[in-house]
Structure 1
């Protein structure tokens, strides 16, 4: 969609969220306009998310940069056919665990045999995307949700599997970060803009860390 149309939709979503409750309004007023942007194509975000699993932002970025530098062109991840040819030792050199190496190779194989393609993912509905991606060993709900939220531009997702989101919920709304039922019930009230709400939760937590 044209950027101007998307920007107008974003403004509409933010206005809607502002009316939810005083806490959400305060968060939005503190952070300002939503600048939620896509990180890249599904393949890129999928590989990036696998690398980031259970790592700090800094550690994930270091590993991501190594993979790009060693085996990509310095700016992009290797293509699926390149990943498949790389040995475990080569990928271990970049810092990937054996489990992540297996997952990256399975993703690459799925892209090469046509099980997955960026175009196919863009045409599936949200549930179908989650089911297809999670059918690959090593790709869990969080990884699949990051593809939806950060590549396919789907606006109605909250990832309970994202630790930062849960911490931000606890800090801002007083709901225990370990209370899955309560968090999911609470965030369901932010549909159809749970992704945009999540963007503000991420920014709010970053703000706390930078104080």
Structure 2
């Protein structure tokens, strides 16, 4: 598995199109999206711990609501969220920011793990994808989806395809004309041959859920 963004060389989208004509058609319609782009509005300031706070806040809710929760946490801590600030808030003040009981406990588990040296979110670059996922998911509340989002957007790994993501599964159902939503295992089997460019395939599949851009009409 890849160990960083440089693991993908050459022409990832061209190779994906060669491997699967459906991906070629999607590339023609949706272009070549940057798989590592993360539109957080500058909230996390490229800080990895703050990014994980946002990823946890965004579990199973819309991005817009996740932004609201993160902004409340930042206001409550008075600074960019860091481990000490999260612990200082405690469960009740985190709940007052709008987090569920579970998510408040997950943020505290992350902060305590970072402070206690059980994980170092800034020291994952030298790990393989599998090792980084294992380190992250060892923290309570950090599931595979959250870990994979971190690998994509913070570690910029080239071969990440979150097979359990509902958007990915819907895109596969639509793109390949399936009769039903595929299971994560079905998606994993279908996409295994796309390695080591599955991060690019992920970006393309998510893009395909939106209407394709219509070229501007020529000026008259």
Q: Give the TM-score range, shorter chain.
A: 0.7 to 0.9
Partner of 2:129: 126
Q: Please give the alpha-carbon distance, in whole angstroms, between the structure 2 residues aligned to 1:168 and 1:85.
A: 41
Q: Is 2:139 the counterpart of 1:136?
A: yes
Q: Is 2:151 the counterpart of 1:151?
A: no
Please report the RMSD computed on the Cα atoms of aligned residues, expressed in angstroms.
2.1
Contact 1:11 1:34 in 2 (8 A): no
Note the 1:78-89 alignment, pairs <5 A: 78-89=81-92
Contact 1:10 1:34 in 2 (8 A): no
State the Cα deviation string for residues 101-147 of structure 1 (Å, max 9, x = none): 11101111111122222332111111111111111111111111111
The structure whose RCO (Cα within 8 Å, separation 6+) is larger is 2
Partner of 1:194: 198
Partner of 2:68: 62
CA pair 33-178 structure 1, distance change in 2 beyond 3 A: closer
Q: How far 1:181 moved relative to its partner?
A: 2.8
Q: Please give the alpha-carbon distance, in whole angstroms, between the structure 1 residues aligned to 2:167 and 2:128.
A: 26
Partner of 1:14: 13
Q: Please give the alpha-carbon distance, in whole angstroms, between the structure 2 residues aligned to 1:44 and 1:198.
A: 23
Q: Please give the alpha-carbon distance, in whole angstroms, between the structure 2 residues aligned to 1:180 and 1:33.
A: 24
Contact 1:38 1:151 in 2 (8 A): no
CA pair 206-70 structure 1, distance change in 2 beyond 3 A: farther
Residue of structure 2 aligned with 1:45, choices 32, 39, 51: 51
Partner of 1:205: 209
1:123 counterpart SS class = coil
Q: How far 1:196 moved relative to its partner?
A: 0.8
CA pair 192-98 structure 1, distance change in 2 beyond 3 A: same
State the Cα deviation string for residues 12-69 of structure 1 (Å, max 9, x = none): 1111112223321121112223323354343233221111111122222222222223
CA pair 93-84 structure 1, distance change in 2 beyond 3 A: same
Q: Please give the alpha-carbon distance, in whole angstroms, between the structure 2 residues aligned to 1:114 and 1:14.
A: 39
Unaligned runs of 5+ in 1: 1-5
Q: Is 2:103 the counterpart of 1:100?
A: yes
Unaligned runs of 5+ in 2: 39-45, 213-220
Partner of 2:216: none
Q: How far 1:188 moved relative to its partner?
A: 0.5
Contact 1:122 1:152 in 2 (8 A): yes
